[in-house]
């Protein structure tokens, strides 16, 4: 064996046996968790290959590695003798029909089918001719100028097929091609696909979890389970001669009897009252040589009963046990289980489910997924937001002496804030919290109405919200001045109607006026996040709650509100921060009566010109605001969890 000349080893492979596709040790891991164990697989030109397995078994990952959408962790892919392992999808001689099709919605059927050829720079006349051919072949003549959105599922499937086939791929890959179709259509399209294969030749590889589909279409079937290839063979092979317990149970019904194997028979342990003579499946017996733990398997088991010391109960003739009667649901000890047995095995399966699986692409970051694209945005964030804030923070430790700013590290500004501004900070926090709470509650009422009233009312409220959202900050404040002012609408109308003699000054220039104006201004900003959160709630779960006897109020309290906590906090935080940092509203409608932190901070940049002190005030206010918001969050969560 060892002296076999190298030349012979090479020459021994006849040209005809050169496989079209050869996978060597191909495997895929996600973060150290294997999705596909090293697999060796090769198939010939003209094969119609099915990769069959339950969901999460790694079959789609295998297919996507073939297409170039998933980069293998190890191993090699050769197509037609060429190593394509490192090639991106566009450079591979494969084309794929995706699950969900991936048709281009902005192109007609004709444009979809011709897309690949146009990219190759094929002459227009030839593109048109080949597209016509494909349209005729897939019988899409009547729909050729429609966009995909106006096609039925089966028609979309045909377009996806035509779009891939027109490229004349060496290997056509199909990912669960019929999964989204109903039974009748599936059968019809399976028939069409088989006819296409017979007519056009070529190599088709498709992934399916449907055993009958695999059996009906493929001449070779690869059965996968938990990332491993369990068996490769014809439909007959895997059905009649399953290589493992998994294959036996996954492909067709099977009776399983645990026992020990000796020669051609499997003996049931324990009482020794049952001896499985042969495992049978549709008349062909599977010999079970060797000894050890084993399973007897078959649709109809031929078994004979033995009583200890008395010989066969029914000598010479085996009775048939109907299918299902002896099905053993689970048992951990099965043959060649090895390190995959038991809990470890199960744990790995669960891990694989969370890997992302279908539709995942991990091809090298291409142009528009390259993290470098974030550079401009990161630069804006870093240079125009983070750097200024950090710098501002540094400045807050500087001092102003004799009208000159002296850099250094001094806490004198913070000391001054603590000494002189605790009152305004508390007042600002209190009025901001009050405004934020009232605004959030009112906003929830409106958001809930928009959400529950689908008709005219909801549309009207949403429209009003969206329009006022962009309705101008200063203009809104100004409008309130004209309403509440001494010569404003309320006063002059009341005087005009003779209700009062003198205009009421107190309408404007009070904390109430500031609160009123800010609430009105902030409402649309608070409504939107709440409406977004409400829309994300699954209405069925609420109907279920009603069905189980919950009152509308209970549904709101136990279902809706807890789900809205993040949005409620967002609204609260937004209103709080805007109010705490505002100086325009207090100035315009609060006059000299209402001085909030915004006014004090702003004055350090205007009249008083003490930037370090202003910075210290800013950060004190920001820290206070953050503390209030976190406290509100904790409080709200506690409030809604207690119920």
> Interface residues for another protein in 393-432 (CB under 8 A)?
395
Query: Do residues 112 and 135 touch, judged by C-beta distance below 8 A?
Result: no
381 is an interface residue for another protein by CB under 8 A: yes
Query: Nearest Cα to 49, choosing from 280, 203, 247, 276?
Result: 203
Least CB distance to another protein at residue 171 (A): 12
392 is an interface residue for another protein by CB under 8 A: yes
Binding-site member from 84, 357, 583, 620 for another protein (CB under 8 A): 583
Residue with Cβ nearer another protein (223 or 596): 596
Stretch binding another protein (CB under 8 A), from 42-50, 232-240, 255-263, 478-486: 478-486
271 is an interface residue for another protein by CB under 8 A: no
202 is an interface residue for another protein by CB under 8 A: no
Query: Nearest Cα to 575, choosing from 641, 620, 530, 510?
Result: 530
Whose tokens are 């709080």? That residue is 576
Binding-site member from 254, 483, 564, 575 for another protein (CB under 8 A): 483
For residue 464 the two structure tokens come to 């009003």
> What are the beta bridge partners of residue 172?
95, 204
Least CB distance to another protein at residue 374 (A): 5
At residue 224, what are phi and psi to the nearest 5 degrees?
Answer: -120, 150
> Interface residues for another protein in 232-261 (CB under 8 A)?
none
Report which secondary-structure segment, H or E, holds 567: helix 565-580
Least CB distance to another protein at residue 531 (A): 4
Q: Is 405 exposed, middle or buried (0-12, 13-18, 19+ CB in 10 A)?
A: middle
Residue with Cβ nearer another protein (96 or 232): 96
Stretch binding another protein (CB under 8 A), from 131-139, 412-420, 506-514, 609-617: 609-617
Least CB distance to another protein at residue 241 (A): 36
* Cα separation, 118 vs 127, whole angstroms: 7
At residue 497, what are phi and psi to the nearest 5 degrees?
Answer: -80, -5
> Interface residues for another protein in 93-122 (CB under 8 A)?
94-96, 98-106, 115-116, 119-120
**Bridge pairing between strands 33-43 and 48-52:** unpaired
3-state secondary structure 422-474: HHHHHHHHHHHHHHHHHHHHHHHHHHHHHHHCCCHHHHHHHHHHHHHHCCCHH
Binding-site member from 161, 461, 560, 628 for another protein (CB under 8 A): 461
176 is an interface residue for another protein by CB under 8 A: no
Binding-site member from 145, 487, 538, 547 for another protein (CB under 8 A): 487
380 is an interface residue for another protein by CB under 8 A: yes
Binding-site member from 24, 219, 361, 593 for another protein (CB under 8 A): 361
Binding-site member from 378, 411, 623, 634 for another protein (CB under 8 A): 378
Query: Nearest Cα to 228, choosing from 213, 215, 206, 246?
Result: 246
86 is an interface residue for another protein by CB under 8 A: no
574 is an interface residue for another protein by CB under 8 A: yes
Least CB distance to another protein at residue 521 (A): 8
Binding-site member from 322, 359, 539, 635 for another protein (CB under 8 A): 359
CB atoms near residue 175 (< 10 Å): 25
476 is an interface residue for another protein by CB under 8 A: yes
Binding-site member from 174, 207, 240, 578 for another protein (CB under 8 A): 578
615 is an interface residue for another protein by CB under 8 A: yes
* Cα separation, 191 vs 508, whole angstroms: 80
> Interface residues for another protein in 64-83 (CB under 8 A)?
67-69
623 is an interface residue for another protein by CB under 8 A: no
At residue 45, what are phi and psi to the nearest 5 degrees?
Answer: -60, 135
> Interface residues for another protein in 152-171 (CB under 8 A)?
160, 163-164, 167
Interaxial angle between packed helices 511-535 and 473-484, expressed in degrees from 0 to 180 and rounded to the nearest 10: 130
Binding-site member from 424, 485, 586, 590 for another protein (CB under 8 A): 485
> How far is CA 548 from each of CA 12, 173, 552, 555, 643, rounded to the nearest angstrom?
73, 48, 12, 11, 18
> Interface residues for another protein in 118-147 (CB under 8 A)?
119-120
3-class secondary structure, 336: coil
For residue 456 the two structure tokens come to 């005219």
For residue 323 the two structure tokens come to 């299918």
Query: Do residues 254 and 82 touch, judged by C-beta distance below 8 A?
Result: no
> Interface residues for another protein in 520-559 (CB under 8 A)?
520, 523-524, 528, 531-532, 535
> Interface residues for another protein in 9-28 (CB under 8 A)?
none
Residue with Cβ nearer another protein (403 or 470): 470
469 is an interface residue for another protein by CB under 8 A: yes
> How far is CA 268 from each of CA 258, 275, 356, rounded to the nearest angstrom?
6, 6, 42
> How far is CA 158 from each of CA 98, 178, 189, 209, 610, rounded to the nearest angstrom?
12, 11, 8, 20, 73
Least CB distance to another protein at residue 407 (A): 10
492 is an interface residue for another protein by CB under 8 A: yes
Binding-site member from 354, 482, 541, 551 for another protein (CB under 8 A): 482
33 is an interface residue for another protein by CB under 8 A: no
Query: Do residues 231 and 237 touch, judged by C-beta distance below 8 A?
Result: yes
């Amino acid at each position: 064996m060892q002296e076999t000349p190298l030349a012979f080893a090479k020459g021994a492979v006849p040209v005809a046996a050169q496989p079209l596709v050869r996978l060597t040790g191909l495997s895929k891991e996600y973060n150290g968790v294997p999705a596909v164990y090293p697999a060796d697989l090769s198939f010939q030109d003209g094969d119609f290959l099915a990769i069959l397995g339950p969901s999460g078994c790694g079959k789609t990952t295998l297919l996507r590695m073939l297409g170039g959408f998933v980069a293998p962790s190890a191993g090699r892919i050769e197509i037609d003798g060429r190593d394509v392992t490192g090639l991106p999808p566009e450079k591979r001689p494969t084309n794929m029909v995706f699950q969900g099709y991936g048709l281009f919605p902005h192109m007609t059927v004709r444009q979809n089918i011709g897309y690949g050829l146009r990219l190759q720079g094929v002459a227009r006349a030839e593109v048109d001719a080949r597209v016509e051919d494909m349209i005729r072949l897939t019988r899409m003549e009547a729909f050729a100028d429609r966009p995909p959105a106006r096609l039925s599922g089966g028609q979309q499937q045909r377009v996806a097929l035509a779009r891939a086939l027109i490229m004349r791929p060496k290997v056509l890959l199909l990912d669960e091609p019929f999964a989204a179709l109903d039974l009748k259509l599936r059968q019809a399209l399976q028939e069409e696909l088989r006819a296409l294969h017979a007519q056009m030749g070529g190599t088709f590889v498709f992934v399916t979890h449907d055993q009958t589909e695999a059996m009906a279409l493929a001449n070779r079937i690869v059965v996968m389970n938990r990332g491993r290839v369990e068996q490769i063979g014809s439909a007959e092979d895997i059905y009649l001669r399953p290589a493992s317990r998994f294959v036996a149970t996954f492909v067709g019904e099977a009776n399983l009897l645990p026992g020990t194997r000796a020669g051609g028979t499997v003996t049931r342990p324990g009482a020794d009252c049952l001896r499985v003579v042969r495992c049978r499946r549709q008349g062909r017996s599977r010999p079970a040589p060797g000894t050890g733990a084993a399973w007897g398997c078959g649709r109809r088991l031929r078994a004979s009963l033995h009583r200890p010391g008395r010989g066969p109960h029914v000598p010479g003739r085996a009775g048939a046990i109907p299918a299902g009667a002896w099905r053993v649901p689970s048992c951990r000890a099965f043959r060649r289980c090895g390190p995959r047995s038991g809990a470890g095995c199960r744990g790995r399966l669960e891990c694989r489910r969370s890997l992302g699986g279908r539709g995942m692409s991990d091809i090298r970051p291409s142009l528009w997924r390259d993290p470098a694209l974030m550079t401009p945005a990161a630069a804006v964030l870093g240079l125009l937001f983070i750097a200024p804030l950090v710098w501002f923070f540094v400045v807050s430790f500087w001092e102003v002496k004799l009208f000159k700013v002296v850099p250094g590290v001094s806490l004198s500004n913070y000391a001054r804030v603590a000494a002189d501004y605790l009152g305004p900070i508390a007042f600002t926090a209190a009025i901001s919290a009050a405004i934020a709470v009232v605004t959030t509650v009112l906003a929830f009422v409106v958001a809930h109405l928009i959400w529950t009233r689908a008709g005219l009312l909801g549309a009207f409220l949403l429209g009003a919200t969206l329009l006022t959202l962009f309705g101008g900050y200063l203009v809104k404040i100004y409008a309130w001045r004209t309403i509440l002012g001494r010569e404003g609408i309320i006063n002059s109308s009341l005087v005009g109607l003779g209700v009062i003699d003198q205009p009421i000054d107190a309408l404007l220039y009070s904390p109430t006026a500031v609160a009123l104006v800010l609430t009105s201004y902030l409402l649309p900003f608070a409504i939107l996040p709440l409406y977004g959160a409400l829309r994300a709630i699954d209405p069925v779960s609420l109907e279920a709650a009603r069905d189980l006897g919950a009152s509308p109020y209970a549904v709101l309290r136990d279902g809706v509100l807890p789900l809205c906590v993040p949005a409620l906090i967002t609204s609260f935080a937004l209103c709080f921060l805007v109010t705490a940092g505002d100086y325009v509203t207090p100035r315009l409608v609060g006059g000299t009566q209402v001085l909030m932190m915004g006014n004090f901070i702003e004055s350090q940049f205007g009249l008083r010109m003490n930037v370090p002190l202003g910075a210290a005030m800013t950060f004190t206010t920001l820290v206070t605001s953050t503390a209030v918001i976190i406290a509100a969050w904790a409080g709200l969560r506690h409030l809604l969890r207690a119920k």
